Amino acid sequence: MTAEYKVNGSVAVITLNNPPVNGLGHATRSAIVDGMRKALNDDAVKAVVITGAGKAFSGGADIKEFNSPKASAEPTLHTVINVVENSEKPVVAAIHTVCMGGGLELALGCHYRVVSPGAQIALPEVKLGILPGAGGTQRLPRVLGLEMALNMIVSGNPVPSEKLAKTKLFDQLADGDLMEAAIAFANKVADARPLPKVRDIKIDYPNHEGFLQFSRNTVRAMAGPFPAPVKCIDAVEAAVTKRFDDGLRYERELFTELVQTPESKALRHAFFGERAASKVPDVPEDTPTREIKSAAVIGAGTMGGGIAMNFANAGIPVTILEMKQEALDKGLATIRKNYENTLKKGKLTQEKFDQRVGLIKGTLSYEEIGQADIVVEAVFEEMGVKEQVFKKLDQVMKQGAILASNTSTLDVDKIASFTSRPQDVIGLHFFSPANVMKLLEIVRGEKTGKDVLATSLKLAKKIKKTGVVSGVCDGFIGNRMIEQYSRQAGFLLEEGALPEQVDKAIEKFGFAMGPFRMGDLAGNDIGWAIRKRRYIEKPDITYSKTADLLCEMGRYGQKTSAGWYDYKPGDRKPYPSQVVNDMIVKHSADLGIQRRKISDEEIVQRLVFALTNEGAKILEEGIAMRASDIDMVYLTGYGFPLFRGGPMLYADIVGLQNVVMTMERFARGRHGEAWKPAPLLARLAAEGKSFN
């Protein structure tokens, strides 16, 4: 039963019961209409209360039905609201905990609304690249006033019910038991006529034209490539300037238009992708998990310190282990400074500052971390170093502790083999800066226990990360793909581009940072070390030697004030370097390459399709479980533009046949071997299918 019908004296109570948030799926919508019909046909019933079971009134549309025929099947939410609004018996919404999206639109269709304190009220559709489509933009301004309603609709952010208690949205704030208050209120208004309808309220806002134009200009500047925020203003304007039914029709037109945009498809893809990422087919949701009450981190460098901050931010005490007191003191001082900066910006209270700093302590002794529930090593990226650390952890850590490696490329199975408990070993690859970046690549070894994987996914949520599961391979999902992206960036330099052009082209596409600015930030010597290893391990893979020549000049990036770009002391802004550009041009000449003009379009296609093609291989090999997991890695860890949805969805939107045809064109150029389509990509393109 997705909605229950009961009669309490002369009041019928319809309780939505579709966990977890009483989504308004087809079965729930049908049950509401059935309940209303029963109430209207029962002479003993004088009023109706609609509420939600569990921890929500209603969170809105049922996301399980998105993009399916059920989403638009009758009774639609519009039909449900019409039935409620036109009921000749009063309908009271009893609102608690969560009332968002379609749930709020349903409540606005009721004649009265009683709410409990602390309920979160929102129309969050803009965050999915759409706008409220069942009257939200027309009714909310009538009860909140133009300004407050517009802010809620354009931001999509929730507002606590107490802040709205004195508006026309709520008729009563229930201090005690909500249902008792709602039923008492329903009895009180049982004979009230005519029944109030939100649609009949007039919006009174002098000079609305000036306010809306100012809002439009402000929102347009902030919305970037996303069309929905500005369209929200258009819809709200209709609430002021059009008859109610005309405004409703216009809202629907805008909704339908936005649903089709690539930006909305990208946002909805990310929304579903984040939820799908935490689901592993052979690890059911009821898999037992281990309790994480304390943590340890090996290494107090930039990465180790950032990882420790994640635990402290989540209220988990953490001990950082270092070999030398000087390194430990430096690491702890950096952590404190990071928190002080956040405190100065007003993003942290003094109480929280004291609490978080107090949860982090340092030690030089392995014995002092032995009782931690999880330990994450963040030492130098070299297998011999990892071996020493994991052999020691195997000796000192209590039984049942999770032993995690923050390796970004190394074989987690080999690391696990250094211990007598490979079932407890997992890769937890944080991204730098670890206390800021949302991505956590969770690398599942061959022998990693299912409870360890389930615990790691649960921990990712607790420390506010997007956990994405990867199998074991060189570089896992993210770094394995970025290697192909970086290879193409290097080839582009040899063929005719310069770092600034490549960076500007991909940043215009929407990336947060181009490959050469990214290299300067991360340290070009890191990539150099990886390439040196590759030259031995995979001699058949070709790389541009330009980056090696740069490192031989000692230009490691921002840390040496010289990389692909020049940097001034205390200034992170990259300045094009004549020395580097001359080196690139000379290198092309030494290779006998006639440099050519390369278009920005070619730069973007080569960089992005290199990611897509490697992603297809990763998918086919089972390293990633689904295409959306790959997209989540790139959206949350590598600055891929959110409005484009990730490298796999972007390829779907371009059309896989078009992607393959473009790759075939590149294959006729220099380094054509890099452009052989992955078998999965070639097959899906030939069948007219997509990754997602």
Question: For residue range 54-101, what is the model confidence (pLDDT) as tens digits?
Answer: 999 999 998 778 778 888 899 999 999 999 999 999 999 999 999 999
Q: What is the pLDDT of residue 522?
A: 84
- Residue 72 is predicted with a pLDDT of 85
pLDDT confidence band for 207 (50 / 70 / 90): confident
Residue 616 has pLDDT above 90, yes or no: yes
Per cent of the chain over pLDDT 70 is 100
For residue 541, pLDDT over 90 is answered with no
| Residues forming beta bridges with residue 114, ordered by sequence position | 94, 172
The arithmetic mean of pLDDT across residues 182-202, rounded, is: 96
Cβ neighbors of 180 (< 8 A, separation 6 or more) are: none
Given this model, what pLDDT does residue 620 score? Answer: 97
Q: What would the pLDDT profile of 5-27 be if each residue is shown by its tens digit? A: 999 999 999 999 999 999 999 99
In this model, does residue 440 exceed pLDDT 90? yes
Q: Assess whether pLDDT exceeds 80 at residue 586.
A: yes
Query: Over the stretch 106-117, which tens digit does the pLDDT of each residue have?
Result: 999 999 999 999
pLDDT at 555: 96
pLDDT at site 569: 87
Q: Identify the residue with better confidence: 198 or 64.
A: 198
Confidence tier at 204 by pLDDT (50, 70, 90) = confident
- Residue type at position 116: S
User: Is the pLDDT confidence value at 536 over 90?
Assistant: no
* Secondary-structure breakdown of the chain: helix, strand, coil percentages, each rounded to the nearest 5: 55, 15, 35
pLDDT at 68: 81
Average pLDDT for residues 158-164, to the nearest whole number?
A: 97
pLDDT for 632 equals 98
Q: What is the 3-state secondary structure (H, E, C) of 170-189?
A: CCEECCCCHHHHHHHHHHHC
Which helix or strand (DSSP H or E) is residue 15 part of? Answer: strand 11-16
Q: CA distances (Å), 236 to each of 209, 263, 358, in order?
A: 12, 21, 48
- pLDDT tens-digit profile of 545-568? 999 999 999 999 998 999 999 999
| pLDDT at residue 527, as a whole number | 84
CA distance 152 to 120: 12
Across 415-419, average pLDDT? 98
* Residue 125 annotated to the active site: yes
Annotated catalytic residue within 125, 237, 483, 614: 125
Question: pLDDT of 588-600, one tens digit each?
Answer: 999 999 999 999 9
**Mean pLDDT value of segment 44-59:** 97
pLDDT of residue 205: 85
- Catalytic (active site) residue 253: no
Q: What is the mean pLDDT of residues 390-397?
A: 97
Output DSSP code: residue 58: B
Residue 163, pLDDT above cutoff 80: yes
Q: Residue 526 has what pLDDT?
A: 82
The band of 670, judged by pLDDT with boundaries at 50, 70 and 90, is confident
Per-residue pLDDT band at 529 (split at 50, 70, 90): confident
- pLDDT bin (cut points 50, 70, 90) of residue 345 is very high
pLDDT at 571: 86
Q: What is the pLDDT of residue 539?
A: 79
Percent of the chain's residues with pLDDT above 90: 91
- Domains in the chain (CATH in brackets) are 3-259 (3.90.226.10), 295-470 (3.40.50.720), 478-686 (1.10.1040.50)
User: Which residue type does 480 have?
Assistant: R
* Band (404; pLDDT cuts 50, 70, 90): very high
pLDDT in tens, 623-662: 999 999 999 999 999 999 999 999 999 999 999 999 999 9
3-state secondary structure of 93: strand
- The rounded mean pLDDT for the chain is 95
Is the pLDDT score of 537 beyond 90? no
d(CA 57, CA 292): 32
CB neighbour list of residue 295: distance below 8 Å, 6 or more residues apart: 308, 311, 316, 317, 318, 319, 372, 373, 374, 375, 376
Cβ distance 356 to 382 under 8 Å? no
Give the DSSP letter string of 498-553.
-HHHHHHHHHHHT-SS-HHHHHHHH-HHHHHHHHHHHHHH-TTS---SHHHHHHHT
Helix (H) / strand (E) containing 469: strand 466-470
Catalytic annotation, pick one of 65, 85, 105, 322 = 105
